[in-house]
Amino acid sequence: MSAVVKAATVPVEFVDDRITASNWLRRNLRKVFPDHWSFMLGEIALYSFIVLLLSGTFLTLWFKPSMTEVVYNGSFAPLKGIPMSEAYASTLNLSFDVRGGLLMRQIHHWSALLFVAAMSVHMMRVFFTGAFRKPRELNWIIGATLLLIGLLEGFAGYSLPDDLLSGTGLRIAQGIVLAIPVVGSYLSYFLFGGAFPGDIFISRLYTVHVLLIPAIILALVTAHLMLIWYQKHTQWPGPGRTNRNVVGYPLFPVYTAKAGGFFFMVFGVCALMSAFIQINPIWLYGPYNPSQVSAGSQPDWYIGWLDGMMRLMPALETTIGSYTISWNILVPALVVPGLITMPWILYPFIEQFITGDKREHHLLERPRNQPTRTGLGAMGLSFYGLVWLGGGNDFVATLFQIPINTITWFLRFAVILVPPLMFVLTKRVCIGLQRRDRDRILHGRETGIIKRLPNGEFIEVHEPITPLEAWELTAHDRQVPLELGPAEDDNGVPAPGRRKDRIRARLSHWYYQDAIQKPTKAEVAQSHSHAAELEAAEDSDQLTGTPD
Amino acid sequence: MSDSPADEGREIEPADTSTLEPYEDPGLAPHAYRLTDTDPKAAKRAERQVAALFGLSALGTIGLIVAFVAFSPLDTINIGFTTTSASNFFLGLSLGVAMLGIGFAAIHWAKKLMPDVEIVHERHPLASSAEAKADALAQFEVGTDESGFGRRSLIRRSMIGALALLPLPAIVLLRDLGPLPGDDLTRTNWQQGMRLLTDPTLRPIKATELEIGQLVNGLPASFAEIPEAEGTQRQVARARDAIIVVRIAVDELQPPPKQADWGVAGILAYSKICTHAGCPISLYERTTHHLLCPCHQSTFQLNEGGRVIFGPAARPLPQLAIATDADGYLVAKLPHGFQEPVGPSFFERGGRS
């Protein structure tokens, strides 16, 4: 027994006597996790969240969430003697009088941007590889919820320092709340404790930002990880990797070192970014003043898509009697986000309804092997990208010297026309790639060797691919649309749920149409015997040497 | 219950295609050994590298303490492309090194020295056995039966009723979050005869002082009467009373008939608060008389009654009718100043004026 193990014995014994820990440890210390670079995207999100908790706790030790007006008398000379809220003054204090305060502020902001970015990219990975399929639908929903409340949490944090930018963001948020029919003005007066901006909103938002939402995120992250743990991680198909096993390295010691080390790397990168790149220099913006704004007002990147929709929406407002319905705000801020997020959150169930596939899936799919899903994803992403670009239309205008009205008009059409185009295009690209794979399986690898046959014909020599590659290229499911069964059973009883089945079969045909199937056993055999025949013919040609 | 025979086959299912599979699983690929597995020298080298990285991290930690003591937050340093806080730069740099040292060390250790032989674990079906399911259901039935939840409808209904009412306290207790809006959103502090003051100097504006093409930010005279200490009141007043005053050559004015005499010799006053989402508007192009909101680019034509010529705002900027008082200073001309609510739309703001 090594000294390390001996040292661990006493605490393990202690815990075990109380909660039977060894039973669990025995089964889980060597738990296997598969390896792939894309599996670390979710890890980045998790670790940046821990960085957020640590740096955020540091900030709370000095930040005063109060809108009480004070006259600044800190170290930053340009703002001395200026009246401002305590929130803003204490943020200046953190930046100029607390050693390491600016670093922690910047680490907090950078890791917040990273947190949302990592969640987004992780979600794309999960979407495009089909990792959300049964039995992981619940984890998809938890993940989507995490991303959405991550946006909310980010916006809340952005609004706390009460500088000119964050106050402007809150003003727009209040404008959105006001636009809600019937209850809008009531909600606004309740939220802000009266007329905007009031004197209480920042302290209310503070509790939401440091307690309520982090607690929810923490709870959901825990559930997310427990489900991953229990259901075991998905893996890429490959030799020896099946739907019924999981192949990889053990939690202890390999992943303890790798994942633990990766946490330090994420933290380190956040620290370096904060050392080199300034972010949110609130002292340049000045304290919030509801009658001032600076040109080029931009939210953090993850709010850009919502802001972009606000910018692109045409000026539509309906007046019914003495009531006003502000479509110009409701549509971009509430209706479209709702229309986008609902199918996105429910996508696993939508796809399951269409394909009728109720099996467990633990093997990931290459995006090309689900052309329709990949196309839908590209469609959603292109919409997101375009409205996000709309959120920076002023930036694009100054960068490329294009009139801002031109950009806006272009994007107004593009957000409607480009996504369907992207769907078709992406689907076609996928099908093309599927064709190439099929070709490779049936005809092998192009060797680049050109051979001249005795009859003068030139051919390129193809070499069969390795069994390992052949298996990898054919490890995905064959895609079979649902067939609508007979309308009546053998006894003439009409099949129940016929209408639903018909819709389903039609959707499933749409979903799988044009997809290229991997070759069947017979096709592979035929192709190989064909190749052998060719070779034999060639050989005999060479032997006899008779020209045609 | 979905497993009763009557329901079987209700769901149409994808056909089984397993017999068409072209290949058999060749099994795990042969393991490729790393240099550190076969060459003890390479393993030793990797060990030294890992130790060096941990050492680098320790240096970073010490560096952080040094930087903490050595620099005040106000010290600056030029790092090539920019001048930045020296304290922030060295604290961040050393913290980054401290963290990345450990990170790289641990990962290098795992990749070079820990076994990389893949382990295969079997998965188990996630669904319980039919027996376990039936047993769980049976136990639930026993519990339901013992409680009498199904039988005793009086208890069941009163319980559901009591629970349904329970969210009400949560709503009622939140009532005092804020006052009811009443008509507060429709009012500003502007009154007939109230002088226009410049913002931020709070001086009254003489009509003759403004030159053509000039834009001045303004507030009502009432703002100057709010005590300095009343920060909140000042912020609320700014959020609703702020105006911009522009002077446009009279021959370029094309106001709507109703607003024809709301200016003084080409001087016009408009609410500064955008009718879209409430941002204060500030970007004025004097040659075209466009006023552009930097938040969502709503653009208002100031010589034509503030009508919207671009962007998401649906209503013209409310105009403040102005006149001059006996001393030649600009004042609000009409009762209550603005003739419509200023700021973003809200449900009960009233019909279009």
Task: Please judge whether B74 and A75 are an interchain contact, meaning their C-beta atoms are less than 8 angstroms apart.
Answer: yes
How many alpha carbons lie under 13 Å from residue A312 in its C-beta half-sphere?
Answer: 30
Distance between A456 CA and the closest CA of chain B, angstroms: 35
Whether A249 has its CB under 8 Å from any CB of chain B: the answer is: yes
The per-residue pLDDT for range A521-533, each reduced to its tens digit, is 899 888 878 777 7
Q: What percent of chain A lies above the pLDDT cut of 70?
A: 97
Nearest to A277 by CA among B96, B27, B33: B96
Task: Please judge whether B114 and A253 are an interchain contact, meaning their C-beta atoms are less than 8 angstroms apart.
Answer: yes
Distance CA A140, CA A346 (A): 9
Distance between B151 CA and the closest CA of chain A, angstroms: 32
Asked if the interface predicted TM-score (ipTM) of this complex is over 0.90, the answer is yes
Q: Which amino acid is at A449?
A: I
Confidence at residue A495, expressed as pLDDT on a 0 to 100 scale: 76
Helix-helix angle A256-276:A40-60, to 10 degrees: 60
Q: Examine the pLDDT at A369 and tell me if it is beyond 90.
A: yes
pTM value is 0.94
Question: b/e per residue, A511-520, with b = 16+ CB within 10 A?
Answer: bbeebbebbb
Whether B290 has its CB under 8 Å from any CB of chain A: the answer is: no
Can you list the positions of beta strands (E) in chain B? 76-78, 83-85, 119-122, 196-198, 215-220, 243-247, 267-271, 283-285, 290-292, 299-301, 307-310, 319-320, 322-324, 330-332
Task: Please judge whether A478 and B232 are an interchain contact, meaning their C-beta atoms are less than 8 angstroms apart.
Answer: no
Task: Please judge whether B294 and A293 are an interchain contact, meaning their C-beta atoms are less than 8 angstroms apart.
Answer: yes
Distance between A479 CA and the closest CA of chain B, angstroms: 9
Distance CA B340, CA B351 (A): 10
Distance between B262 CA and the closest CA of chain A, angstroms: 23
Residue showing tokens 């330090």? A264
B57 pLDDT band (50/70/90 cuts)?
very high
Task: Please judge whether A247 and B119 are an interchain contact, meaning their C-beta atoms are less than 8 angstroms apart.
Answer: yes
Residues of A in contact with B73 (CB under 8 A): 75, 95-99, 101-102
Confidence at residue A540, expressed as pLDDT on a 0 to 100 scale: 57
Kindly state the average pLDDT of the residues B99-128: 95
Identify the DSSP state of A331: I
Task: Please judge whether B311 and A311 are an interchain contact, meaning their C-beta atoms are less than 8 angstroms apart.
Answer: yes
The per-residue pLDDT for range A245-273, each reduced to its tens digit, is 999 999 999 999 999 999 999 999 999 99
* Test mutation, A137, A328, A478, chain B, max B CBs within 10 A: A328
Whether A177 has its CB under 8 Å from any CB of chain B: the answer is: no
Q: Among B17, B90, B280, whose Cβ lies nearest the Cβ of A290?
A: B280
Q: Examine the pLDDT at A543 and tell me if it is beyond 80.
A: no
Distance CA B167, CA B170 (A): 5
Q: Examine the pLDDT at B292 and tell me if it is beyond 60.
A: yes
B19 pLDDT band (50/70/90 cuts)?
confident
Distance CA A66, CA A80 (A): 19
The per-residue pLDDT for range B28-55, each reduced to its tens digit, is 988 999 999 999 999 999 999 999 999 9
The per-residue pLDDT for range A273-285, each reduced to its tens digit, is 999 999 999 999 9
Higher pLDDT, B327 or A532: B327
> Rounded to 5 degrees, what angle do the CA atoms A386, A391, A397 make?
90
Distance between A540 CA and the closest CA of chain B, angstroms: 30
Q: Give residue A51's Cα distance to chain centre.
A: 19
Confidence at residue A525, expressed as pLDDT on a 0 to 100 scale: 87
- The chain A residue lying nearest B308, using CA atoms, is A315
Confidence at residue A538, expressed as pLDDT on a 0 to 100 scale: 61
Nearest to B301 by CA among A204, B212, A377, B311: B311
- CA R_g for chain B: 37
Nearest to B200 by CA among B248, B239, B242: B242
Confidence at residue A481, expressed as pLDDT on a 0 to 100 scale: 87
